[in-house]
Amino acid sequence: MTNARPIAGRVRDRSLIRALTHGLMALVILVLVVTDLGMATAMAEDLPGAPIATRERIEVAQVQRRRTLMDMLFGPREEQQRPPVQEVRPPVQQQQRRQQTQQRSAPQQQQRRAPAPQAALPPPTPTVEKNEDATRLAVFGDSMASDLARALERAYAEDPNIVIIGQGVGSSGFVRDDFFNWPRTIGEQITADSFDLAVVMIGINDRQPISQNGQSLAPLSDEWVAAYQTRVSGFIEQLRRANKPVIWVGLPPMEGGGYGQAMAQISSIQRLASYAAGAEFVDIYERFLDEEGRFSAFGPDISGQRVRMRKDDNIHLSAAGADKVAFYLNQSIRLFYRGGGGISVDVADALEGTDAQSMLRPPYQGLGQIRLLEVAGAVISLTNTQRRAGDLISASASPPRDAGTGFSLEDLVRAPEGRADAFGVGFVPDEEGEDDEEADPTEPPLSEASLR
């Protein structure tokens, strides 16, 4: 009986603890339910214009998302498997949010939909007005000269002191004078004084027979070459007699074996004729060859970029090719045109004003003569016979000084002391008493200044 009482007390204590635990759990669950219902009710009351069906959907959604004590203790396992419940917004709130979203996105859409700037041509290059006394540079020749004239216009577009005059005639040349007579035309231009400096580029149409004295000369035959060179030389002579500087531009290499060789030969004839007549010649042949020395329609331009140098016919120059020729031609133009109005053909004598000016030397005959000697080599007389060494040894001695011609070797090497050519054996002028007595009294004595 004594042990039965403590056991009964323990049972009652456990029942009491269990009842308290269940009560606390029921209280917590009740608090959670009341809290969720209060939140749902508050959200429904905040939307006075919402219909009853909408409020019920919100309450159902809140009840479905309600968490239990087990969820709080062990985690929301069911919520991970259950698909998320989308919140149903009232129509009024959706419209307000849509309006706000549209207002916010309107500036962005305007920025995105702003029209892109339209492409336009670059502004025209301002033209430089040429001076009244500007140098007039005329470009004569065939269609190649026309392309070169346009390139020179681009090169000197901003120079007010030079005007480019294009005088190119397509399909013309020095062979078909019945089609276009260049010697007669250049004479008319000289008479009219229409230019100051002449640039000539011609020849791509000249591989044709020449009619002369009722005969037809085959292209590039000996008779044809002589007749062609005569016509070119006569053309240049007209300009030289009128004191018009001439710059002749050679032909570039051409495609094709027969035509290319013919153009190279014609350009060589023009070069020799130009040198012989005293004209400047600009050789551009090697400037348009590739690395292997062959014809190429492409090549580096004046900026070093590889571009097309010819047009589709592989004969005429493209804009880049013509600009390249103008670049090399500019170096020769600067010999006569120095940036101001007019031109100058005077060549300064480097020895003018010095003692060497009176030395025996060949007269200056122009750069053309010098270039001709460079091409032809040294000029050797074929008629004068050279004196043999035996003739020089057996030749008579020079006449004595008394005869009035020549001088002795002693007079040649005599020099006063202190002069550069005395070499330590010079004489003292004051101690030459005996020489003074023997000297001719009619001759004036040498002064110290003259000896120096």
Q: Provide the residue ranges of all domains of the chain, joining segments of one domain with +.
A: 12-86, 135-333, 406-451
Give the mean pLDDT of 99-120.
62
Statement: residue 13 has pLDDT above 90:
no
Q: Choose between 122 and 434: higher pLDDT.
A: 122
Res. 314: pLDDT tops 70: yes
Other CB atoms within 10 Å distance of the CB of residue 391? 9
Q: Which residue has the tokens 């571009």?
A: 307
User: Is residue 104's pLDDT more than 80?
Assistant: no
pLDDT at position 20 = 82
- Give the pLDDT score at 117: 61
Mean pLDDT on 268-273: 94
Q: Is 113's pLDDT higher than 80?
A: no
More confident residue, 78 or 277: 277
Looking at the predicted structure, is the pLDDT value of residue 349 above 70? no
Give the mean pLDDT of 383-393: 55
The per-residue pLDDT of the chain, averaged, comes to 75
What's the pTM? 0.54
Distances (CA, A) of 133 to 142, 163, 342, 344: 28, 10, 7, 14
Check residue 451 and give its pLDDT: 40
Q: Is residue 392 very low, low, confident or very high in pLDDT (cuts 50, 70, 90)?
A: low
Give the pLDDT band of residue 29 (cuts 50, 70, 90).
Answer: confident
Mean pLDDT of 345-352: 51
Q: Which of 64-68, 199-203, 218-222, 319-323 has the lowest mean pLDDT?
A: 64-68
| Range name among 176-180, 235-239, 327-331, 395-399 with the lowest pLDDT average | 395-399
In this prediction, residue 397 carries a pLDDT of 53
Instruction: Please give the pLDDT value at position 360.
Output: 45
Q: What is the pLDDT of residues 136-173, one digit of tens each?
A: 999 999 999 999 999 999 999 999 999 999 999 999 99
> What is the maximum span of the chain, computed from C-alpha positions, in angstroms?
189
Does 412 score more than 80 pLDDT?
A: no
| pLDDT at residue 214 is higher than 80 | yes
Instruction: Identify the pLDDT of residue 283.
Output: 94
The pLDDT of residue 407 is 57
Please determine, for residue 268, whether its predicted confidence score (pLDDT) is greater than 60.
yes
Give the separation between CA 261 and CA 264, rounded to whole angstroms.
5
Q: Does domain 135-333 have CATH number 3.40.50.1110?
A: yes
Predicted confidence at residue 171, as pLDDT, reads 92
Confidence of residue 202 (pLDDT cuts 50, 70, 90): very high
Whole-number percent of the chain with pLDDT over 90: 40
Q: Could you give the CA distance from residue 268 to residue 328 in angstroms, rounded to a whole number?
A: 18
Predicted confidence at residue 428, as pLDDT, reads: 72
pLDDT at 64: 53
